[in-house]
Structure 1
Amino acid sequence: MTTDKRQGEGRWAEAIFAGGCFWCVEAVFKDLKGVHEVVPGYTGGHKPNPTYQEVCSGTTGHAEAVRILYDPDQISYRELLEVFFTTHDPTQLNRQGPDVGTQYRSAIFVRTEKERQLAEEMKKEAEGWWGAPVVTEIVEAGTFWPAEDYHRDYFARHPDQPYCAGVVAPKVAKARQRWRHLLKDARD
C-alpha cells in the first residue's frame, strides 16, 4: 500500500488491479466506501503512453487496469483484494468472459513487500473459494498510464450500451449484493 499526499485531500493509499475490462473493474470499485478515485488505464507492458487501440492489439504487453485511491482508515487493502478476487474470475488465463487477450489478464500490481505478501495470501485463499488454480499475476507496479478520458466513468455514462448492459451491469449488481456492507451508502 503506497500513500500519497494530495493537495487538500489528506492521506490516500493506492492499489492497482487488472481484472478484465476496466469498465467493469472501475464500476465495481467506485461504489466502495473509502474509495476516493478509480482511474482506468494501462500498466504492465513495455510501450510508453499507449492508446486503447494499441493495448487492444495485444502488442504492448499492457493490461487494462484501474488505479484506486482509497482511505485505509475506511477500507483496507485486504478488503479491496477480497472484492477483487470475487468480482472477476481469477482462474481464467488472459480472458474474462467475452474479452480475450493478455490485456484482459488478472493481475495485482504491488509497490511494497507488505502488499505482495497480502496479495499472495489472498490468492491462496481465492483458490479455495474458486476450487481451481488462480492465475492472477502478482507483479511489481510500474508506470500506470491513465486511459483516454472517454473511458472514465464509462458504465455510469453508458449503462444502456450493449456491453455495459450485458456484461458490466450484472457484474456490478452481483458485487453490490455480495459487498453491500462495504458500499458508500451502506447502513452500519
Structure 2
Amino acid sequence: MPNQRKATLGGGCFWCLEAVYEEVGGVSDIVSGYAGGHVPNPSYRQVCNGTTGHAEVVQLTYDPSVIGYRDLLEIFFTIHNPTTKDREGADIGPQYRSIILYHDADQKQTAEALIDDLEAEGVFDDSIVTEVEPLDTFYRAEDKHQNYYERNSSLPYCQAVISPKVSKLREKHAERLQ
C-alpha cells in the first residue's frame, strides 16, 4: 500500500508492545525485533545478555490516514513506564529500555514534542527517560517471537504482564481499536 509508514518503538518486552498494537486500527503489520545496538544480526540470547546495545522493539506498519504517528506514541506512553531507565516492570536491562527510533525528522520532532507535552502536563511522577534516536538498522527477531501473545496468551507471563497492558489499551484508547 502506497500510504503506509513505519514506526519503531521499544518499551520493555517486545511481546507486550506487539500484543497491544495488534488491536490498534490502522496498524497493518507488526514485527518484533532488535534495534539501537552495535552487534549485527543479534540473536535473542545475545540481546538478553544486555551486551549488544540493542533494545527489544516492534516495527509497526501503519496507515497515517487512519492513525497518526503521535497517536501511536500516545498509546506507547500509556502502556509502559517511560520513567524507569533500562527497565519495564520485572524486566531489567538495557534491552528493555524505553526508546523511540525515528525514521525521519518529522517523527523525531513529533516524539520530542509529545515528551515535552507529557512532562509539562506532569503526567508521570518522575521524569521521562525515553530515548529518541534515529533508526539505524532493524533486525527481525526469530520466528518464535512473532505473534507471541496470540499463540501463548494462557502462559503465566502473558497473563501477568501482557494481558494487563492489553486491558489498559482497551480502557484508555477504545476509540483506536480495530
Q: TM-score normalized by structure 1?
A: 0.91
Specify which of 33, 39, 53 is matched with residue 47 of structure 1.
39
Moved over 4 A (4+): none
Residue 55 of structure 2 corresponds to 63
Equivalent-residue separation in structure 1 for 2:118 and 2:169 (angstroms): 16
Residue 5 of structure 1 corresponds to none
Equivalent-residue separation in structure 2 for 1:146 and 1:71 (angstroms): 21
Q: TM-score normalized by structure 2?
A: 0.97
Q: Does 1:135 align with 2:129?
A: yes
CA positional deviation for 1:171: 1.0
Residue 38 of structure 1 corresponds to 30
Q: Does 1:181 align with 2:157?
A: no
Equivalent-residue separation in structure 1 for 2:154 and 2:118 (angstroms): 32
The SS at the match of 2:161 is helix
The SS at the match of 1:84 is helix
Specify which of 82, 88, 91 is matched with residue 90 of structure 1.
82
Q: Does 1:110 align with 2:93?
A: no
Equivalent-residue separation in structure 2 for 1:98 and 1:126 (angstroms): 24
Q: Does 1:171 align with 2:127?
A: no
Equivalent-residue separation in structure 2 for 1:95 and 1:172 (angstroms): 19
Is 1:30–1:38's contact at 8 Å kept on the other side of the alignment?
yes
CA positional deviation for 1:174: 1.0
Is 2:6–2:103's contact at 8 Å kept on the other side of the alignment?
no
Equivalent-residue separation in structure 2 for 1:95 and 1:124 (angstroms): 21
The code of the aligned residue for 1:168 comes to I
Q: Which runs of 5+ in 2 are unaligned?
A: none
CA positional deviation for 1:111: 2.0
Residue 15 of structure 1 corresponds to 7
| Count of matched residue positions in the alignment of Structure 1 and Structure 2 | 176
The code of the aligned residue for 2:172 comes to R
Equivalent-residue separation in structure 1 for 2:4 and 2:12 (angstroms): 25
Identity %: 47
Specify which of 15, 24, 29 is matched with residue 16 of structure 2.
24
Residue 3 of structure 1 corresponds to none
